[in-house]
Amino acid sequence: MPRFIVNRNAQSNGDHEVHEVDAGCEHMPLPSNQDDLGYHSSCHGAVAKASETYNNVNGCYYCCNECHTS
Ligand SMILES: [Zn+2]
Protein backbone atom coordinates (compact mmCIF):
# COMPACT_ATOMS: atom_id res chain seq x y z
CA MET A 1 0.00 0.00 0.00
CA PRO A 2 1.24 3.49 -0.73
CA ARG A 3 2.04 5.97 2.00
CA PHE A 4 0.48 9.39 1.98
CA ILE A 5 1.23 12.75 3.54
CA VAL A 6 -0.74 15.97 3.83
CA ASN A 7 0.69 19.46 3.51
CA ARG A 8 0.58 21.25 6.88
CA ASN A 9 0.29 24.52 4.97
CA ALA A 10 -2.90 25.29 3.12
CA GLN A 11 -2.95 26.24 -0.54
CA SER A 12 -4.13 29.71 -1.49
CA ASN A 13 -7.67 28.37 -1.72
CA GLY A 14 -7.51 26.98 1.82
CA ASP A 15 -7.06 23.32 0.87
CA HIS A 16 -4.55 21.04 2.54
CA GLU A 17 -3.32 18.80 -0.25
CA VAL A 18 -2.76 15.06 0.12
CA HIS A 19 0.18 13.52 -1.79
CA GLU A 20 1.31 9.96 -2.40
CA VAL A 21 4.87 9.70 -1.09
CA ASP A 22 6.35 7.40 -3.73
CA ALA A 23 4.52 8.84 -6.73
CA GLY A 24 7.41 11.12 -7.62
CA CYS A 25 5.13 14.13 -7.38
CA GLU A 26 6.85 17.42 -8.14
CA HIS A 27 4.48 19.24 -5.84
CA MET A 28 5.39 17.52 -2.60
CA PRO A 29 5.75 19.99 0.27
CA LEU A 30 9.05 20.31 2.08
CA PRO A 31 9.61 17.49 4.59
CA SER A 32 9.11 19.94 7.44
CA ASN A 33 5.63 20.71 6.08
CA GLN A 34 4.57 17.08 5.66
CA ASP A 35 2.17 15.46 8.08
CA ASP A 36 2.32 11.66 7.82
CA LEU A 37 -1.00 9.94 7.07
CA GLY A 38 0.32 6.39 7.04
CA TYR A 39 -0.49 3.66 4.53
CA HIS A 40 -3.78 3.53 2.65
CA SER A 41 -5.08 1.38 -0.18
CA SER A 42 -6.18 4.51 -2.02
CA CYS A 43 -6.12 8.27 -1.66
CA HIS A 44 -9.66 8.18 -0.33
CA GLY A 45 -8.52 6.65 2.96
CA ALA A 46 -5.70 9.18 3.18
CA VAL A 47 -8.09 12.08 2.61
CA ALA A 48 -10.40 10.73 5.30
CA LYS A 49 -7.46 10.47 7.71
CA ALA A 50 -6.30 14.01 6.94
CA SER A 51 -9.85 15.27 7.43
CA GLU A 52 -9.59 14.27 11.09
CA THR A 53 -7.03 17.06 11.48
CA TYR A 54 -7.81 19.59 8.75
CA ASN A 55 -11.12 21.04 7.64
CA ASN A 56 -10.34 21.49 3.96
CA VAL A 57 -8.56 18.49 2.46
CA ASN A 58 -8.11 17.76 -1.22
CA GLY A 59 -6.13 15.27 -3.26
CA CYS A 60 -3.18 16.60 -5.24
CA TYR A 61 -4.15 17.12 -8.89
CA TYR A 62 -0.94 15.41 -10.03
CA CYS A 63 -0.47 12.38 -7.78
CA CYS A 64 -3.95 11.93 -6.21
CA ASN A 65 -6.08 13.04 -9.14
CA GLU A 66 -8.80 10.54 -8.21
CA CYS A 67 -9.28 12.52 -4.99
CA HIS A 68 -8.85 15.96 -6.52
CA THR A 69 -12.13 17.84 -6.26
CA SER A 70 -11.31 21.53 -6.17
ZN1 LIG B 1 1.11 15.40 -5.39
Q: In this predicted structure, what is the pLDDT of residue 56?
A: 97
Spatial separation of the C-alpha atoms in residues 61 and 53, rounded to whole Å: 21
Measure 62 CA to ligand 1 centroid, in angstroms: 5
pLDDT band at residue 70, thresholds of 50, 70 and 90?
A: confident
Measure 49 CA to ligand 1 centroid, in angstroms: 16
Measure 32 CA to ligand 1 centroid, in angstroms: 16
Q: In this predicted structure, what is the pLDDT of residue 29?
A: 97
Measure 66 CA to ligand 1 centroid, in angstroms: 11
Per residue in 6-63, pLDDT (tens digit) is: 999 999 999 999 999 999 999 999 999 999 999 999 999 999 999 999 999 999 999 9
pTM higher than the cut 0.75: yes
DSSP 6-28: EESS--TTSPEEEEEGGGT-TTP
Q: In terms of C-beta density within 10 A (0-12 exposed, 13-18 middle, 19 or more buried), how is residue 61 classed? A: middle
Measure 26 CA to ligand 1 centroid, in angstroms: 7
